[in-house]
């Protein structure tokens, strides 16, 4: 069944369909939001946002999880360009990037923490 919009509708459905047929920008946003939908990765975000940069072993200690778990989560974040790293000998130090999605998540995390009085 096809609905018929009112004759005076300002919407051009064909143009909208063409505009949204291929949306790599929205696909990238969805992938980034998916990364941040995991509680451990949000906790990593909050710690990195406060500390600016940390090594994997310190992140594991702070969060009380294994180094392997931290590394796997950071790899997913790095794949979306949400974190970056620098190497100092054998140690990798991670930091948040200036990705626009990080600014949105920063506001959401701060709002969530303020709402529970942290």
Question: Each residue of 29-47: pLDDT tens digit?
Answer: 888 888 888 999 999 999 9
Domain 13-115 in CATH 3.40.190.10: no
- CA–CA dist 20, 62 (Å, integer): 43
Q: State residue 5's pLDDT score.
A: 67
Task: Give per-residue pLDDT as tens, 6-17.
Answer: 777 778 878 888
Q: Do the Cβ atoms of 109 and 44 come closer than 8 Å?
A: no
Domain extents in the chain: 13-115
- Sheet strands (E) in the chain: 54-55, 83-88, 91-96
């Amino acid at each position: 069944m096809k609905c018929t919009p009112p004759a005076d509708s300002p919407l051009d459905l064909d143009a909208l369909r063409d505009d949204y047929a291929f949306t790599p920008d929205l696909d990238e946003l969805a992938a980034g939001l998916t990364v941040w939908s995991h509680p451990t990765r949000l906790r990593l975000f909050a710690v990195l946002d406060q500390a600016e940069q940390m090594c994997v072993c310190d992140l594991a200690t702070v969060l009380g999880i294994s180094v392997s778990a931290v590394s796997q989560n950071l790899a997913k974040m790095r794949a979306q360009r949400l974190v970056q790293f620098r190497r100092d000998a054998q140690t990798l130090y991670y930091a948040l990037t200036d990705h626009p999605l990080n600014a949105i998540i920063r506001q959401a995390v701060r709002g969530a923490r303020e709402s529970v009085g942290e």
